[in-house]
Chain A
Amino acid sequence: MSKSIFSKIICCCLILSVVQFAQAQKGKFDFSEEKNVYNQIADVPVLTKDGTQKLSVLYSRSPLIVALIFTRCTGICSPLLLNLSEQISHLHTDPKENFKVLVISFDPRDQFEDMARMAKQYARENDPNWIFAVTPQISELTSSLAFNPVWDEDRQQLDHEALLSGINTDGYVTKNLIGLRDQQAIYSLIKSINNEFILSYPLPGNNNFLSCFSYDPSTGKKSWSWGMFLLVLPAIIAAGIVTILVNQKKTLHHN
């Protein structure tokens, strides 16, 4: 009897292990917001309406939200800037939380005039909190932000992520946001570049399939994950061992 219970426990463990393995293969996350955090942005020269200056001059005055776009973009650049502009206009930030938005092109074809035209399109040409700029050292800038646009010959476009990087007054990347994000995410980015503590928890990647909890960013749903099973497993194994030990006595008596 005990033997059969033990066999059932072992079978359950094996089935759960297989299901867990299958689950691990199913979830292929590739979020890179954690990549490059706490690295320093390259101190490249930037051309703004105030002339050429080092990037460090800008971020040392106030922390920056860096939006990487290009003016000929037919994809995500425009929605990214519109969303950022809209979210910021609705924010009620603490007066201590100061910041500027640096919109900088990563397309070598862009001239400052292109960026000035873009500023006008978004009605930000006279906004002191928005800086539109170009740099002659694009690759240094993009590589320091781990931002890797890829040239698509067919579309004549640069394929890229919709990235917002938060830079604090020491020039460190404190937080990255990928995609069009809600007000709460933008607010936490602003808090982070002002060196305020932000709660964060990295999402499990391909090489991390034993987490305690999982989170589906598309639905916002949080759930228990297979790692939690490992907290129960010792008790199950111990119960199995005790079952064998108790059974051993019966076997001895039987013999």
Chain B
Amino acid sequence: MINLSLKRVTSVWIIAILVVFVITAIFGITMRFNQGGDIELSPVTFFSLMTAHGVTMVGIWSVAGMMAVNYLMARYVKVSTAVNVFALVLTVIGLVMLWTSTFVGYFHAGWTFLYPLPFFVAWESWATPLFLYSIAIFGIGWTVWTVAMLMQIYKKYSLAQSFAWQHFKRGYLVETPPFILITTVSLIGILICLITAVILLVLLFAEYYSNGTFTNDALLIKNLTYFFGHTIINEALYLGVATLYELFPEVSGRPKFKTTWYVALAWNCTLVFVLTAFFHHLYMDFVQPVGLQLVGQFASYFASLPSAAVTVFSIVILVYKNPIKWSLTNTLFFIGVIGWIIGGFGAVIDATISNNFVLHNTLWVPAHFHTYNAMGNVLFSLAFFYWVANEFAGTKVVPRSEKLRIGLLLIGGFGFVLMFYIAGAYSIPRRYSVYPDELALGRNLASYGGWFATIYVIAILLFLGEIVNKCLKVFSPRSSAAA
């Protein structure tokens, strides 16, 4: 049941996420212009921006997916607004702490805060614990929220039904909607990586407060960091895919997607494989056994293939030679799938061990993850934001700037990631504040990338204005009266 309080908290989430996204995207653009030599930042400022940009982007697009599925879940099960508000408050507190640690305390160990970097204090001494506490605050809020959502799912569905196992047999009585299947798989994945983050933080705090009596194993911490970081960003994208399964047919005027045996199999496989794909981040760690490196490579193939193949197949079947009511919502979903596939393909290339020897720590890495985030996950969430804002406002008026927005988004977004791909193909390293003369190509591409990203942000601002305006309508007295 979607009530007014759920609409209001969803509105606050959407406005907060879009505003923080634009600010954080500007951090990224500033970094690209600095790499391009258009502006001059101190290395500390550059790496503080890089740290804030990375953690904030991972955070806001994870909660964007959670917020979207939380809203749509209310169609099937009862959801808790109180827990939703709790997560929102902790996310805001965590964000303030995070930005304080990076911009006031100058913590700049990167979003991966790879051990032992956080303990080699090159910033205010209080910034390290503040940064770690900010991650802990995010973790508490999101873990409680995830468990609360799973609790509601399991009040209605059995374990087997939540994973759609009955679809492997004939003559089942209860059908699991694809939205519930994908949401369950993704939320369990998110729960696992949030527990991993808890273990990671406990180990880091143990060392921080032990005065040298306890030290961590660098390889273990790296494994835990990427288990958490790699997995959460993938699961966040799958939450976006869950909203696509729920809304794409609906806004296109087509029948709802059905769960079939292959859809069930694909998403069950995804749960397993996405949890082991993170080993591909440790190819350069020679002490990691070769067996685990191979697990990383093959899990990367198998994690992306079933879910992407089934989703693309479902979308193509739905769109091909069928009358579709195209709107901004389903256009954004459609482009998002293209971005996801291109980014995923780039990821699989990099996850192949022989290629990783060439591409490791080059700009190919930000190329692929910016593609499936900025042109995949962000667009899935933006499609939801746009759809739900229209629901709140009760209007379906097609804006005059529809084509302009999509055009700017495509040119800006794909132009921006293309500069990363070209630079990666030429082995331009990532995480450089400025490029020396030997890497002058990286400088030029960074500058072009900055301009393309500016076009992308202009498109987002055009969306933001309309979406915020419509979201604010749920706070009007008329909405209260209608409720």
User: What residues of chain A have their CB less than 8 Å away from a CB belonging to chain B?
Assistant: 199, 201, 204-205, 207-208, 210-213, 227-228, 230-231, 233-235, 237-238, 241-242, 245-246, 248-249, 252
8 Å CB contact of A235 from B150, B154, B192, B286: B192
8 Å CB contact of A207 from B188, B192, B212: B212
A249 to B212, CA, bound (A): 47
A231 to B219, CA, bound (A): 11
User: With A231-B224, A249-B155 in contact, do A199 and B286 touch (Cβ < 8 Å)?
Assistant: yes
8 Å CB contact of B193 from A205, A208, A234, A242: A234
8 Å CB contact of A248 from B154, B188, B214: B154
Residues of A contacting B196 in the complex (Cβ-Cβ under 8 angstroms) = 234
The 8 closest A-B pairs by CB, nearest first: A234-B195, A227-B220, A211-B217, A245-B154, A234-B196, A238-B192, A234-B192, A208-B215
Tell me, rounded to whole Å, the shortest Cβ–Cβ distance linking B145 to chain A: 13
Residues of B contacting A231 in the complex (Cβ-Cβ under 8 angstroms) = 220, 223-224, 227
A-contact bits for B176-199, CB 8 A (1 contact / 0 none): 000000000000100111011001
Tell me, rounded to whole Å, the shortest Cβ–Cβ distance linking A215 to chain B: 10
Whether B199 pairs with A242 at a CB distance below 8 angstroms is no
Whether B147 pairs with A245 at a CB distance below 8 angstroms is yes
A245 to B150, CA, bound (A): 8
Q: Which of B195, B213, B223, B288 gathers the greatest number of chain A CB atoms within 10 Å?
A: B195
- The yes or no answer to B482 lying at the interface (CB within 8 A) is no
Whether B191 pairs with A238 at a CB distance below 8 angstroms is yes
Residues of B contacting A233 in the complex (Cβ-Cβ under 8 angstroms) = 195, 199
Tell me, rounded to whole Å, the shortest Cβ–Cβ distance linking B6 to chain A: 21
User: With A199-B286, A231-B227, A234-B196 in contact, do A249 and B216 touch (Cβ < 8 Å)?
Assistant: no
Given contacts A227-B219, A233-B195, A245-B151, 15 further A-B contacts (CB under 8 A): A199-B286, A204-B217, A208-B216, A208-B217, A230-B220, A231-B220, A234-B192, A234-B227, A235-B192, A241-B191, A245-B154, A246-B154, A246-B158, A249-B155, A252-B155
Residues of B contacting A208 in the complex (Cβ-Cβ under 8 angstroms) = 214-217
Whether A249 pairs with B223 at a CB distance below 8 angstroms is no
- The yes or no answer to B462 lying at the interface (CB within 8 A) is no
A235 to B213, CA, bound (A): 29
Residues of A contacting B219 in the complex (Cβ-Cβ under 8 angstroms) = 201, 211-213, 227
Residues of B contacting A235 in the complex (Cβ-Cβ under 8 angstroms) = 192, 275
Residues of B contacting A212 in the complex (Cβ-Cβ under 8 angstroms) = 217, 219-220, 223, 287-288
Residues of A contacting B147 in the complex (Cβ-Cβ under 8 angstroms) = 241, 245
A248 to B217, CA, bound (A): 38
- The yes or no answer to B159 lying at the interface (CB within 8 A) is yes
The contact sample of 27 A-B pairs, CB cut-off 8 A, is A205-B215, A207-B212, A207-B215, A208-B216, A210-B203, A211-B219, A211-B220, A212-B220, A212-B223, A212-B288, A213-B289, A227-B219, A230-B220, A231-B223, A234-B196, A238-B188, A238-B192, A241-B147, A241-B191, A242-B150, A242-B154, A242-B159, A242-B188, A245-B154, A248-B155, A249-B154, A249-B155
Tell me, rounded to whole Å, the shortest Cβ–Cβ distance linking A194 to chain B: 20
Residues of A contacting B154 in the complex (Cβ-Cβ under 8 angstroms) = 242, 245-246, 248-249
User: What residues of chain B have their CB less than 8 Å away from a CB belonging to chain A?
Assistant: 147, 150-151, 154-155, 158-159, 188, 191-193, 195-196, 199, 203, 210, 212-217, 219-220, 223-224, 227, 275, 286-289
Residues of B contacting A249 in the complex (Cβ-Cβ under 8 angstroms) = 154-155, 158
Residue in chain A with minimal CB distance to B198: A234
Residues of A contacting B151 in the complex (Cβ-Cβ under 8 angstroms) = 245, 248
A234 to B202, CA, bound (A): 13
Residues of B contacting A246 in the complex (Cβ-Cβ under 8 angstroms) = 154, 158-159
Residues of A contacting B188 in the complex (Cβ-Cβ under 8 angstroms) = 238, 242
A246 to B193, CA, bound (A): 20
A213 to B191, CA, bound (A): 26
A161 to B287, CA, bound (A): 28
A248 to B159, CA, bound (A): 12
A233 to B200, CA, bound (A): 12
User: With A231-B223, A238-B192, A246-B158 in contact, do A210 and B217 touch (Cβ < 8 Å)?
Assistant: yes
Tell me, rounded to whole Å, the shortest Cβ–Cβ distance linking A75 to chain B: 33
Q: Which of A228, A234, A248 gathers the greatest number of chain B CB atoms within 10 Å?
A: A234
A234 to B286, CA, bound (A): 25
Residues of A contacting B227 in the complex (Cβ-Cβ under 8 angstroms) = 231, 234
Residue in chain B with minimal CB distance to A252: B155
A235 to B219, CA, bound (A): 19
Whether A234 pairs with B155 at a CB distance below 8 angstroms is no
Tell me, rounded to whole Å, the shortest Cβ–Cβ distance linking A16 to chain B: 14
Residues of A contacting B275 in the complex (Cβ-Cβ under 8 angstroms) = 235
Whether B213 pairs with A207 at a CB distance below 8 angstroms is yes
Residues of B contacting A205 in the complex (Cβ-Cβ under 8 angstroms) = 215
8 Å CB contact of B287 from A201, A210, A230: A201
A207 to B223, CA, bound (A): 20
Tell me, rounded to whole Å, the shortest Cβ–Cβ distance linking B471 to chain A: 32
A211 to B221, CA, bound (A): 9
A112 to B44, CA, bound (A): 54
A242 to B187, CA, bound (A): 11
Tell me, rounded to whole Å, the shortest Cβ–Cβ distance linking A168 to chain B: 22
Residues of A contacting B217 in the complex (Cβ-Cβ under 8 angstroms) = 204, 208, 210-212, 227
A153 to B151, CA, bound (A): 72
User: With A207-B212, A238-B195, A242-B188 in contact, do A230 and B224 touch (Cβ < 8 Å)?
Assistant: yes
A234 to B151, CA, bound (A): 18
Residue in chain A with minimal CB distance to B150: A245
Tell me, rounded to whole Å, the shortest Cβ–Cβ distance linking A48 to chain B: 40
Tell me, rounded to whole Å, the shortest Cβ–Cβ distance linking A204 to chain B: 7
Residues of A contacting B193 in the complex (Cβ-Cβ under 8 angstroms) = 234
Residues of B contacting A238 in the complex (Cβ-Cβ under 8 angstroms) = 188, 191-192, 195
Residue in chain A with minimal CB distance to B217: A211
A170 to B191, CA, bound (A): 51
Residue in chain B with minimal CB distance to A222: B289
A212 to B220, CA, bound (A): 6
Residues of B contacting A204 in the complex (Cβ-Cβ under 8 angstroms) = 217
A214 to B284, CA, bound (A): 20
